[in-house]
Structure 1
């Protein structure tokens, strides 16, 4: 089954085959020659459409392939990773469209692209984008990098977390959640996902982490190891990347215990998905069955 990276440009949803996506990252400053340097490689920047867009600090870059070359696509936000859906031929060549209006891009070379980007109006945003650029430019990706595990980055309040992609079954929109009486406070409720009843977890309550910033909980990351399955309620999906060791010096402190922590890379808190899925605290017994 083919998986797709879903993202938005303006109010339009798009999807790219995950196998063609090298990585995703936060927006950085675009150089004068309309390129960015990602892991030591100079990559042209482009936006979907015919007009050059002005970048924002909240934008993301999707590093993907165009013919034989790489390109950095600007997206307003990353929506997550989902398996292939039924789709009809789209209005644009090389595309299909799903029932909910998402444009699946099968051939990026047939899509109108505007190369380059307009710098932000305010100096604060421009400074932030310039500050991000050196960290992404340092390490060149080689064939050896394929051996490094892929992680999915997500946001809760003001804090960015990540978990190994090998435990991510899918990412979905938050639907109707049914509260369950008598369960621990970290279980927000249950919901039916593709015919399966799944518990939805508030990670911050599970770990007793201070709750900084408002939460929307508009995405759910379904984690599974084949035995245990549950959903993590999150605010935003930040994209995927490769976990490299040794981890760089951390700039974020976290209250998550070492037993459930792989490390902290810069501002990203990397959670041990295996430890989370096998934690005895996630097994909620039924008092009636225990009699």
Structure 2
């Protein structure tokens, strides 16, 4: 990892959902796949689209649009499934598109806890700024942990 003035810089994969940009720690991303056939699993929450078979591994897939209360959208050529890995658990998340990799120091991420005590912000590490762009950095561990505790 690059050091900037003694501060650790972390890299984040930036993706879009609706008109908003989000980032996840690049070390939690195992692979980014084009949208593929998803098999629906009965009695799962609406935001769990189902499972995919990726090289023999069955992986649950979450639609972040639905999880974040946005209307679902038909997949298109830009739609991607980001495979995230944490504590030997792999989870796919459907995003509208993947943009780039950026890096921030912890100091460059602004906290959002002062804005609201909304529970959905448990998933937010902070907000990073690149010029006029604001990138919401997500806490993938929190998303995955909540999912595995439901089962």
Shorter chain as denominator, the TM-score bin is 0.7 to 0.9
Match of 2:135 in 1: 268
Q: Does 1:196 align with 2:57?
A: yes
Larger RCO (alpha carbons 8 Å, 6+ apart): 2
- Give the superposition deviation at 1:235: 1.3
2:108 maps to 1:247: yes
Gaps of 5+ in 2: none
Normalized against structure 1, the TM-score is what? 0.42
Give the Cα separation in 2 of the matches to 1:171 and 1:284. 25
Distance in 2 between the 1:235 and 1:216 partners?
8
d(CA) in 2 for partners of 1:242, 1:188: 30
Q: Deviations over 1:189-214 (max 9, x none)?
A: 111011101111012323xx342795
Question: What secondary structure does 1:246 align onto?
Answer: helix
Name which of 32, 38, 48 aligns with 1:187: 48
Cα deviation, 1:54-91, whole Å, max 9, x if unaligned, reads xxxxxxxxxxxxxxxxxxxxxxxxxxxxxxxxxxxxxx
Does residue 220 (structure 1) correspond to residue 84 (structure 2)? The answer is no
Root-mean-square deviation (CA, aligned residues, Å) is 2.9
Contact 2:35–2:80, Cα closer than 8 Å, also in 1:
yes
Once the two structures are superposed, residues 105-151 of structure 1 have per-residue CA deviations (whole angstroms, 9 ceiling, x without a partner) of: xxxxxxxxxxxxxxxxxxxxxxxxxxxxxxxxxxxx84746x22211
Cα distance in structure 2, aligned partners of 1:220 and 1:187: 13
Q: What's the TM-score, normalizing by structure 2?
A: 0.77
Long gaps (5+) in structure 1: 1-21, 23-140, 286-291
2:17 equivalent among 147, 153, 156 = 156
Q: CA deviation at 1:174?
A: 1.2
